[in-house]
Amino acid sequence: MAGPPTTDRSLTTEAGADRRPVLELRGVRKEFPGVVALDGVDLRLFPGEVHALMGENGAGKSTLIKVLTGVHPSDGGSVTLAGEDVRISSPLQAQQTGISTVYQEVNLCPNLSVAENILIGREPRRFGMIHWPELRRRAHELVRDLDLDVGAPLGSCSLAVQQLVAIVRAVDISAKVLILDEPTSSLDRDEVEQLFTVMRRLRDQGVAILFVTHFLDQVYDVCDRVTILRNGRLEGEYAIGDLTRVQLVQRMIGGELAELDVLSDASRAEAAEAAAGEPFLRAGALARRGSIAPFDLDIHVGEVVGLAGLLGSGRTEAARLLFGADQSDEGTVTVDGEPAVLRTPRAAIAHKIAFCSENRKAEGLVGELTVRENLVLALQAARGWARPLSRGKQDELARYWIAALDIRPASPETQIRNLSGGNQQKVLLARWLLTNPRLLILDEPTRGIDVGAKAEIQKLVQRLSGEGMSVLFISAELEEVLRLSHRVGVLRDHRMVATLTNDGTLTPERIMATIATGDRK
C-alpha cells in the first residue's frame, strides 16, 4: 500500500517540479445567494498531463469549470494562463485564450456533416464562398488517426463518435487546455477506450487535459494527477500513484467509507422463501415489436431483481413495459395473481408500481419547479387533480423526505435545477416513495452521481427490500447489481437470455459470459 499522500501543492509530481503549469487558479471564490460554492480553490494544470477533478456532487466541480470557462465571473482569486494573468468573462474569450470545453451533452449540429461540425465558424473560403474540397481536406487531416467519415451527417454517428468530433473541434480551436466534463457517462467500454486513446495522444502532444468523471477506474486508467474538492473547498492535489482508491474516496467524502453490506444469508433465505409463493408481479411473454422480444419475469415481495446487459440490450425497454410507459404488443402481466392491464403509467401507479427513469432530467424532474413541487408530483397525480394536496401537507411531506434522505440543500423552495445530480436523484426517489409503492423500478439510479450518494442509494435499496418492497434494479455496473440483487435477469440483443440466482457463487465474470454467449451455465 502506498504511503500517506502528500498535500503539498507546490510539488506533487516530478514533472510538476520541473515545469510551469499552463493554467493555474489561486484562491478562486464564487458565491451565490446564501451559498459559497467555491471557497479559496487552487488548481494547476501542466502541459502533457491528464488531470482528474474529483468530488462529491455539490463539491464545486461544475462551478469551478464555469468560472474557468467564463460562464460565471469569479468573486475572488486569480487565473494565470501560460504565465500571464487573465480574467475570463465569457466562453468565447475562454476559447480565444486557449481553453476549450467538451460537455457530457454534445452541443453540435446533428444535421451537418462531421467535417462541417469540426470547422464550423472557421470554414476555409474562396471568393467569399465555403471552399468545400479544402474543408474536407482539413477535416480529414484533423481526424487522420480516428477512422471517421468526415462526410457523414453527425446525427447518424454514435454518441462516442460525436464526443470525438467535439474534442477534435475543441483542440483545433485551442490546443492549450482541454476540459472534458463527464464525457464517458453514456459510453460503453470499447467507446471509452477509444476516447482514452485520443486523450493519451493529445496528452503526448502537450495538451493539458482536465478530466471530470465519477468513475474511479477511469481515473486510474488515464490520469496522472487529481485535484479533490469537498464542500466547495480544496481538499488536496495528489499524484495518482500516491493515492489508493479507498484513500481517494475517503478524501472525497471527508471520513471513513462505510462498507455496504452484501446480501446476507438471512436475506437470501427470505428471498428464497418468498420465491416459493405467488410473485407480486409476473410478466409472461411480454414484448413490444422493434423494442424487446418476449420475456418472462417474476418479482416477489421484498425481492431485488437486477437487470444486467450491455448498453442497448433491452433493459430500459423491459422496465418501460412494466410501467406502462411503452405499450406491449403481446404477453400478460399479473399483479398479486390478478390480471393487470398496464397500458399507461397511471395504471401502473394504481397498482402501486413506481418508476425512476435513467434520464432524470428529461423524463423525471421539472427543472423550473422547486424541490417541494417535484416531490409531490407523483402523489398528486395518483390522487387526481380534483383532490389537490394542501400547501401545509406539501410542506410537511417535503420536510420529512428532505430529512429522511438527507437532501442538500435542505430548503424545499430551492429550484431542483440548482441541486447536484446525487441530490436530484434523491428527490426523484422521494417522489415515488411518497406513493407507498410495492414495486420500485430503478433504472440506473446511481449513474453520474458521486461515490457517497451512490452508497446512500444502495443502502436505501437494501433497507426498502428488507421492509418488504420489491425492487427492479437496473445498472451497467455488474458489481452493483450483484451487491443488491437476489436474482439477475441477463439481457442480450433485446432478449432476456437468462435469469440467474445470486446464491453467493454468482460472479461478474459469469454474468459477462452469459451476456456474451447467452449460455445460462
Residue 240 lies in a domain: yes
Query: Same domain, yes or no, for 60 and 189?
Result: yes
429 phi-psi bin (left φ>0, alpha ψ -120 to 50, beta other): alpha
CA distances from 247 to 50, 241, 497 (A): 20, 11, 39
Which pLDDT band holds residue 17 (cuts at 50, 70, 90)?
A: very low
* Assigned domain for 360 exists: no
Q: In this predicted model, which residue has the larger pLDDT, 402 or 157?
A: 402
- Whether residue 414 is found in the same domain as residue 448: no
Tell me: do 1 and 50 sit in the same domain: yes
Whether pLDDT at 475 is above 50:
yes
User: 165 with 307, same domain?
Assistant: no
Q: What is the pLDDT of residue 8?
A: 40
Residue pLDDT, tens place only, 94-137: 888 888 888 766 677 888 888 888 887 778 888 888 888 888 88
User: Does one domain contain both 10 and 91?
Assistant: yes
Residue 76 CA: distances (Å) to CA of 28, 40, 80: 5, 8, 13
Same domain, 46 and 76: yes
What's residue 265's pLDDT? 64
Nearest to 103 by CA among 201, 221, 213, 234: 213
The confidence band for 181, taking pLDDT boundaries of 50, 70 and 90, is confident
Residue 421 predicted with pLDDT over 80: no
Q: Is residue 107 in a domain?
A: no
Lowest mean pLDDT among 206-215, 289-298, 392-401, 433-442: 206-215
Looking at the structure, tell me whether residues 300 and 344 fall in a common domain.
yes
Considering the domain architecture, whether residues 305 and 407 belong to the same structural domain is answered as no
Say if 227 falls within a structural domain: yes
Identify the helix (H) or strand (E) that includes residue 288: strand 281-288
**Stated pTM of the model:** 0.59
pLDDT tens-digit map of 422-453: 788 889 999 999 999 999 999 988 876 777 77
From 242, 257, 272, the end of a domain falls on 257
Per-residue pLDDT of 188-243, as tens digits, reads 777 788 888 888 988 998 999 999 987 778 899 999 999 999 889 999 999 999 98
DSSP H or E stretch at residue 136 = helix 132-142
Does 106 reside within a domain?
no
Q: Which of the listed residues 257, 288, 314 is the one where a domain comes to its end?
A: 257
Are 243 and 320 part of one and the same domain? Answer: no
Backbone φ and ψ of 274, nearest 5°: -65, -35
* Residue 93 covered by a domain: yes
Q: Per-residue pLDDT tens for 300-359?
A: 999 999 999 876 789 999 999 999 999 999 999 999 999 999 999 999 999 999 999 887
- For the cut 90, the answer to whether the pLDDT of residue 49 exceeds it is yes
Task: Answer yes or no: do 445 and 346 share one domain.
Answer: yes
Give the integer Cα–Cα distance in Å for 234 and 40: 7
pLDDT > 70 in the chain, percent: 88
Give me 429's grid cell. 426517489
In this structure, is residue 152 part of a structural domain? yes
Q: Which helix (H) or strand (E) holds 36?
A: strand 35-45
Provide the CATH number for the domain around residue 512: 3.40.50.300
Among 257, 288, 307, give the residue marking a domain's end. 257
Same domain for 205 and 89, yes or no, is yes
DSSP annotation string for 149-164: -TTSBGGGS-HHHHHH
Q: Quick one: 228 and 249 in the same domain?
A: yes
> How many structural domains comprise the chain?
4
Residue range of the domain that includes 399: 366-436
Quote the distance between the C-alpha of residue 474 and its chain's center.
13
What mean pLDDT, rounded, does the chain reach? 85
